[in-house]
Amino acid sequence: MKYLFAHILLILLFVYSCSSRPLTYIVASHSFIRADSASFADSAIKAHIMPYREELNATMNEIIGYASATMISDKPEGSLSSLVADIVYEAGIELVGEATNNSSMALVNVRGIRAPLSQGEIKLKNTYEIMPFENRLAAVKLSGNILQEVFNHIVIRSGDGISQATFTMTPQGAEDIKIHKKELNE
């Protein structure tokens, strides 16, 4: 008796779900709204944002250096990817310490470098244009065998930014690998 109600409910649900209902159609439409600075010229919003914009522009337009030539990130080796790798290397030495200085190198994924560095003044905003992502520096200790695999992968990918290391790209992989002008040890 206690399952009778459950069975009746199940049968009713089954019968109800088998009934046909008329199909309804919804006609959708769309239109494009041009979104540019002229179409959203709300003076109240502009007035509210202006102090923040001015402060941000003052910070981002600060001149932090000068580039004597235009630098690009290129494969197998580019001036910008080498510069970024050198900067990462220096930051890594500060992070890890001078104790590993003679056996350390830096590797930068050139696909993360998104814009060239134009000749002339370097502004803080240029650094965000070049590497717009939240990048992290990782220090790892690798054996010579693992480093050989890393360099072979660089060859497969047709190059990356490196600092304090040299090698020769061959069809067989990376050869004549040197870190701080010393042969790679296993």
pLDDT of residue 64: 96
For the entire predicted model, the pTM comes to 0.71
pLDDT digits (tens, 9 = 90+) for 149-165: 999 999 999 999 999 99
- Where does residue 138 fall: left (phi above 0), alpha (psi -120 to 50 degrees), or beta otherwise? beta
Instruction: Identify the pLDDT of residue 40.
Output: 60
> Tell me, what CATH number does 63's domain have?
3.90.780.10
Q: Is the backbone peptide bond immediately before 22 cis, with ω within 30 degrees of 0? A: no
pLDDT in tens, 168-186: 999 999 999 999 999 987 6
Domain assignment present for residue 159? The answer is: yes
Residue 143 lies in a domain: yes
DSSP for 7-52?
HHHHHHHHHHHHS----------------STTTT--HHHHHHHHHH
Overall domain count for the chain? 1
> Does a structural domain hold residue 86?
yes
Domain presence at residue 77: yes
Range of the domain at 169: 59-183
> Is 48 domain-assigned?
no
In a domain, 90, yes or no: yes
Q: In this structure, is residue 23 part of a structural domain?
A: no
Residue 32 lies in a domain: no
71 residue type, one letter: M
